[in-house]
Amino acid sequence: MRVAVKQLENELVTPGQDRRHELGQFLTPQPVADFMASLFDSRWQEWNLLDAGAGTGALSVALVKRLCALRYKPRNISIMACEVDETLLESLHSTLQGCGRECERADIRFSASVLNEDFIAAAVPMAGGDLFTSSQPRFNAAIVNPPYRKIRSDSSTRLLLRSAGIETSNLYTGFVALITKLLAAGGELVAITPRSFCNGPYFKPFRTDFLETMSLRRLHVFESRSAAFSRDDVLQENVIIHAVKNSAKPESVIISSSNGTPTGAISEREVNYHGVVSPNDPLQFIHLAEGEAQDNARAIMSQFTATLPDLGLSVSTGRVVDFRAKEFLRQNPETDTAPLIYPCHFDDGFVHWPKEKARKPNAIISNEQTRELLVPVGVYVLVKRFTAKEERKRIVACIYDSHQIHAPLVGFENHLNYFHINGHGLPMALAKGLAAFLNSTVVDVYFRQFNGHTQVNATDLRSLNYPVKAELESLGSRISTPGLLQAELDALVEDELF
Ligand SMILES: C[S@@+](CC[C@H](N)C(=O)[O-])C[C@H]1O[C@@H](n2cnc3c(N)ncnc32)[C@H](O)[C@@H]1O
């Protein structure tokens, strides 16, 4: 029995690179598929499983294998596998035939159907009850690794989803939202998806619907970003969700983590539901507090109550998109240029400019055409939007100080966020306090709980709560030298704020 399944797994094909990207084909590694299958805890006699975006069937075979190995086996397993790519169908059929043989040996009735269609197009009418005679959802289990792809607001996919009452800008959340509609009450979902849905305003409609319809049971994160697999060009952290269709909120959720290697240990803890989704959070962020440090960071951050508007501050994305402003960029400052600041100018908490032998231009022509791209002289707090994978911290803040750089205007490149007061600079003490707060380990640990990718966008910074102005100013007044060690900065922040 094991040999047959092993053979099937070895037969899984790896499609060509371009096609893979187009269709979001990142096939689930077998240990991850097995782990996902192990999360189902229903004891259905009749399994009606949906495998949407089935690929070559890795997820179905993992669940069938598990059900066949149970002491009290189900009577019947029925699978509907939907896969749009016809080049995978032969493998998918052969995987499902293998599942059939496996079930036969385990004395379980088995049937499978393959739908070679776009899942969204096929499932929207199903969710409305048109495709099948019964208008009731038919599935009591779904296992999915959905394709990840942005969907344009005018695309037919977006319109189809909208017709089913689903407003979302990524295919993966579209898949999951539709699947939840197709599940019967009590039906179980296990999905591996990017972590990005856990936060961010764009995913809010998806998150609120999902949390209203589904009762979260477990969230599993991979400690290493590349451990399970990477999607798209942005390295995404992945999360496995286990949830049951039931509008009652659970008391607690299991948060587990592993490094994603086949033999890697799994650590898990039970977290109060309100520690995962705060009842007071209008954005319904999903926090993945994986350990004591994370709990601690959440507890500390929950004491801060000020929003950016309370502080009189705004945060925006740098206005200079370099490839669109190419003709105005200059390697070195000239008489008619303004400083152009990139992340490469960050140095020990302050902007050091100009940078000799920089790979990025140091200056931008300052004239009527570029005026809109520039901001006036002042002190600004800058935060990198992208951090390198190997960088220790996700939030990296630094100060642009016009006392050090004499120029009436400055350009912040689009890879930066900048904090300002109505488009102007901040008082120095407030800027230093804000930068120190943002650079503290506590903020970084907190931020990582809901931000699973390498980007720090202005919307993320707007969603944070901050200490009040007087506290930030007091902290700032204690920072006299640039280049504090992280431990020194953390000690200062702790002493001043916690
Ligand atoms: C991330 S892969 C996962 C494959 C498989 N379930 C696994 O876990 O190995 C997503 C799959 O969805 C398929 N797919 C992409 N867009 C689809 C669509 N609109 N409808 C159905 N399948 C789609 C891709 O061809 C790919 O096989």
Read off the pLDDT of residues 274-288 as tens digits, 9 standing for 90 and up. 889 988 888 898 988
**Tens-digit pLDDT profile for residues 86-116:** 999 999 999 999 999 999 999 999 999 999 9
Dist CA 336 CA 415 (whole Å):
24
- Cα(147) to centroid of ligand 1, in Å? 5
* Residue-level pLDDT at 262: 58
For ligand 1, atom 10: residue with the closest CA: 147
Is the model's pLDDT at 351 over the cut of 90? Answer: yes
Using CB atoms within 10 A of its CB, is residue 495 exposed (0-12), middle (13-18) or buried (19+)? Answer: exposed
Q: Which CATH number fits domain 2-290: 3.40.50.720, 3.40.50.1820, 3.40.50.150, 3.40.50.2000?
A: 3.40.50.150
Any idea which fold 308-497 has?
Answer: Adenine-n6-DNA-methyltransferase TaqI; Chain A, domain 2 (3.90.220)
For the CA of 55, the nearest atom of ligand 1: 27
The answer to whether the CB of 59 is under 6 A from ligand 1 is yes
Residue 270 has pLDDT above 70, yes or no: yes
Is the shortest distance between the CB of 145 and ligand 1 below 6 Å?
Answer: yes
pLDDT at residue 235, rounded to an integer: 54
Residues 430 and 340: their CA atoms lie apart, in Å, by 23
Looking at residue 85, its pLDDT comes to 95
Instruction: Give the highest mean pLDDT range of 15-29, 69-83, 187-201, 402-416.
Output: 69-83
Please tell me the pTM assigned to this model: 0.71
Closest CA to 77 of 54, 56, 53, 107: 107
Q: Which two tokens stand for residue 432?
A: 């230093």
Give the per-residue pLDDT at 448.
Answer: 84
Q: Does ligand 1 have an atom closer than 6 angstroms to the CB of 82?
A: yes
Q: What is the largest CA-CA distance in the chain?
A: 84
Beta-ladder partners of 255 = 219, 269
The Cα angle at residue 422 between residues 420 and 425, in degrees rounded to 5:
40
Q: Please tell me the distance from the alpha carbon of residue 268 to that of residue 242, in angstroms, as a whole number.
A: 14
Q: Is the pLDDT of residue 211 over 70?
A: yes
Q: How far apart are alpha carbons 63 and 54 in whole angstroms?
A: 13
Strand order across the beta sheet in which 266-272 lies: 109-115, 76-82, 46-52, 139-144, 183-194, 238-245, 214-222, 252-258, 266-272
* Ligand 1 site-directed mutation target among 27, 79, 96, 150, most atoms within 8 Å of CB: 27
* Six token digits for residue 210: 């999902």
Nearest residue (CA) to ligand 1, atom 18: 118
Distance (Å) of CA 434 to CA 93, 347, 443 = 58, 17, 11
- What's the confidence (pLDDT) of residue 16? 59
Atom of ligand 1 nearest to the CA of 88: 27
Which of 9, 17, 23, 99 most suits a substitution to test ligand 1, by most atoms within 8 Å of the C-beta? 23
Best residue among 32, 56, 83 to mutate for probing ligand 1, ranked by most atoms within 8 Å of CB:
83
Task: Using the predicted structure, report yes or no on whether residue 252 has a pLDDT greater than 90.
Answer: yes
Mean pLDDT comparison of 221-235, 313-327, 454-468, highest-scoring range: 313-327
Answer yes or no: is the C-beta of 120 below 6 A from any ligand 1 atom. yes
Structure tokens at 225: 């970003």
Residue 7 confidence class, pLDDT cut points 50, 70, 90: very low
CA distances from 167 to 120, 170, 216, 238, 380 (A): 13, 9, 21, 22, 36
The residues spanned by each domain of the chain are: 2-290, 308-497
